[in-house]
Amino acid sequence: MPLTTPYYLIDKSKLLANMEKIARLRELSGAKALLALKCFATWSVFDFMRDYMDGTTSSSLNEVRLGHERFGKETHAYSVAYADYEIDEVVSHADKIIFNSIGQLDRFADKASGIVRGLRLNPGISSSTFDLADPARPFSRLGEWDVKQVEPAMDRISGFMIHNNCENGDFDLFDRMLGTIEEKFAPLLKKAEWVSLGGGIHFTGENYPLEKFAERLKRFSGEYGVQVYLEPGEASITKSTTLEVTVLDLLDNGKNLAIVDASIEAHMLDLLIYRENAKISPNTGPYRTMVCGKSCLAGDIFGEFNFENQLKVGDRISIQDAAGYTMVKKNWFNGVKMPAIAIRELDGTIRTVREFTYANYEESLS
């Protein structure tokens, strides 16, 4: 019996293409790659990804525990701020802890003395074009800026995390920003043992100059004598997953509208936050239709697309590139049915790894 929509479908053959590029980069550059759980944390494919990556990085206690228990290997812990009641558990799951500020380092350095400690640096530049996602925005709380303030802390830390790329598929821009980082933080980098350059670098994209990227990372590593880490999230899972939906109703209000059994606010929230359209392939044909979600939100719209045939109630639509920041952000808005999670194995078979029921909805409330 086919799985009832909506559901996220992770295609391992497409995921493998990303994993092989990550493995190639690790081989060429000597850099290590950690899966960024804030983007993708569907642990049913961790056993598959584990062979190609070095571990995980996190943004909370829950994520660092998931990374430690479900992925294994190297487990990095980072958070904008740790609470007193959670720091001991965070440390128990982590190999390395990265503090966001000197204040947090001062507060928790002793509790974290048994693992590797680091600090986040903010270089004041980023590739983001959207203020909401810009870590270098004015008055940013993300990391320390002042070399003179960080230098006295070097006896308590051994490395740094610098995350300033965001959907950056431009190698030349990455290269220029890394040069700026070197100019600003050279005195600190020379004293470090490791540096994480964060995520947001779209190095698994088509036509990205992987060899040039690897050479730049290797040169940076050699110049400062550091182990380089990358924290790919979107780059790990790009184009690997679809959100499978079904047309429930058709309307015409001056445009052709198709209402499907999913919602951008509930199931692909970043489309709403960043005012982006979903992707449908091939998006060709004479029948232009606005695909809409089923929630009560007036702007619950996936976008306008071209179809080869006029849509009918019961037709299936595959929303493309639906892995990043979807399953980790899905929610129960309107009580809309939560998409199941399924995996297409390398042999083409599909298995369902999670379905959500009314009980899950009820348990999420009180």
Which amino acid, residue 285?
A: G
Task: Report the predicted TM-score, pTM, of the whole model to 2 decimal places.
Answer: 0.96
Residue 1 scores a pLDDT above 80: no
Report the alpha-carbon angle 191-193-197, nearest 5: 100
SS3 259: strand
pLDDT tens figures, 263-309 = 999 999 999 999 999 999 999 999 999 999 999 999 999 999 999 99
pLDDT tens figures, 220-258 = 999 999 999 999 999 999 999 999 999 999 999 999 999
Give the β-pairing of 301-307 and 287-292. Answer: antiparallel
- For 365, list phi and psi in degrees, rounded to 5: -115, -165
Report the alpha-carbon angle 301-307-310, nearest 5: 95
What's the number of CA atoms in the CB half-sphere (13 Å) around residue 208?
A: 21
pLDDT tens figures, 330-351 = 999 999 999 999 999 999 999 9
Q: Determine what percent of the chain is predicted with pLDDT higher than 90.
A: 99
Radius of gyration of the chain (CA): 22
What is the reported pLDDT for 38? 98
- Asked if 21 and 203 touch (Cβ cutoff 8 Å), the reply is yes
State the sign of the Cα–Cα–Cα–Cα dihedral 126, 131, 135, 138.
positive
